[in-house]
Chain A
């Protein structure tokens, strides 16, 4: 029954996307660390009726007229290898991109959706770099198990929302994207 409801919601979301009512141009996604987690967020967005453009190696000059840049943080050595870049190049790409997004008046949403399983030395380097770029932060439970995110946002006027699961990021995403004018 639950699955039927999910499929119904999914069908409606897909239908709305393909019928052209989706907010296609408002959101652009890119991974920070080259893990596939950004694809998971893209699918959550689709369920919300948002067909976000996903570019693994999005560059500053490739930003269009989007309102929001979403970057999903998780380090993947394999992903970096596939992309032919190292961690320093990835950090540099994201710093340049976030600065360009800010200059265009875009909001930057940083997400970590992999819980404790997607934490580790490489990911933590990216997390530390990503938080200062964020206008808002969504973290799936377990991702902040050691208080890393909490420590990084301390003293800053930065909204950090905790989601119970990847699917559960739907609610905080809806909240943030509504505040930022992407969703009505």
Chain B
């Protein structure tokens, strides 16, 4: 009997190991489905800007849409956090539809590819979301906030001191891409990714960048007695955070957003004492004016585990994607007005067109 239990335990252990290896292998082999449109003039890898990333699960696709005409260079970052779907999908819509007529646009749809290869650990949102694209059924991946521990190459520390010297009490934040700027070539894999992004910005002389994020919605759960449960709204959604050098351009972009699509967003300036975030460190380390946008994602509401991240009636993916794209366009327009260098993008759907149907109509 003792032998049988031991043998059974052995089988169970073996099964668990096999399962872990299978899941790990699946993560390693995860390749996001991106179908570039005719506006993409060059496809690169992030490892082209920092070679040690090559062959890792953190190397990621970089799409260049170059008009060949002088103008501003913009960088659009999606997927910094794998559970913030709208940023990645906005980047996909950009890559799969737009043509740049003046200046140059660089798009990274999955800035943290490792994070998108994992299941969401916050709310357990399902991995794949089926949509009907222009060419048939297609799946949008939904991942986790941080780098897969297996890809990080080292255990989480108790406290994490990031490359900017800021100490975070939660060591897991060492795997949060948006706490590791400006990166470190000798650091963890996650720090190497942010180092590579900064290297890209310098090499490509990026003028303006937008890191697209999502936060919990402004909703609170209504209890059966009609009362409200507190803590549902941290007021981060509908915010544009700007590096101090870009604050006036950000204000112009937000006013234009009210004009265009009648959505008001809150302006915030980077907190210069809270280090390691893209909007501050990109602007500090380079000449680029750096911004970060936040849209409301039902999948991030802690009070519900069944948030519909694609078709929520109040915060549909189309609304969130349209918000980021319009904001990026308005930032580019305001940059052109201030600095005289334009980034002109054609082929993007209008916000109202996005709202009129499913997101798949704008994906290949």
**Interface residues of A, Cβ cutoff 8 Å to B:** 2-3, 6-7, 10-11, 14, 36-37, 39-40, 42-44, 47, 78-79, 81-82, 114-115, 117-118, 165-168
Contact = CB atoms under 8 A, between A and B. Distances in A.
Contact of A36 (B255, B262, B269, B272): B269
B260 A82 contact: no
Contact of B251 (A3, A43, A82): A43
A39 B247 contact: yes
Counting chain B CB atoms within 10 Å of each CB, the highest count among A10, A14, A44, A79 belongs to A10
A3 B269 contact: no
B161 interface: no
Given A44-B255, A81-B273, A117 B248 contact: no
Contact of A10 (B218, B262, B337): B337
**A-B complex: 9 closest residue pairs judged by Cβ atoms:** A43-B251, A167-B258, A36-B267, A6-B259, A39-B251, A36-B269, A78-B271, A40-B251, A165-B258
A6 B330 CA distance: 11
A44 B251 CA distance: 9
Counting chain B CB atoms within 10 Å of each CB, the highest count among A14, A39, A47, A168 belongs to A39
Nearest to B264: A165
Contacts of B250: 39
Interface in B267-288: 267-269, 271-273
B254 interface: yes
Given A6-B256, A7-B333, A39 B267 contact: yes
A118 B255 CA distance: 17
Counting chain A CB atoms within 10 Å of each CB, the highest count among B247, B255, B258, B262 belongs to B255
Interface residues of B, number: 27
Contacts of B235: 117
A19 to B, nearest CB: 15
27 contacts: A3-B256, A3-B330, A3-B333, A6-B255, A6-B256, A6-B259, A7-B256, A10-B256, A11-B337, A36-B242, A36-B267, A37-B267, A39-B247, A39-B248, A39-B250, A40-B267, A43-B252, A78-B268, A81-B273, A82-B269, A82-B272, A82-B273, A117-B218, A117-B238, A167-B255, A167-B258, A168-B258
B276 to A, nearest CB: 15
Nearest to B334: A10
Counting chain B CB atoms within 10 Å of each CB, the highest count among A10, A39, A43 belongs to A43
A14 B238 CA distance: 27
A122 B150 CA distance: 43
Contacts of A36: 242, 247, 251, 267-269
Contact of A40 (B254, B259, B273, B337): B254
A2 B351 CA distance: 13
Contacts of A40: 251, 254-255, 267
Contacts of B259: 2-3, 6, 167
A167 B255 CA distance: 6
Nearest to B247: A39
B264 A115 contact: yes
B223 to A, nearest CB: 21
A47 B254 CA distance: 13
B304 interface: no
Contact of A81 (B251, B255, B271, B333): B271
B169 interface: no
B251 A42 contact: yes
Contacts of A79: 269
Contacts of A7: 256, 333, 337
Nearest to A141: B264
Contacts of A168: 258
B266 interface: yes
Interface in B227-263: 235, 238, 242, 247-248, 250-252, 254-256, 258-260, 262
Contacts of A117: 218, 235, 238, 266
Nearest to B271: A78
A158 B209 CA distance: 44
Contacts of B267: 36-37, 39-40
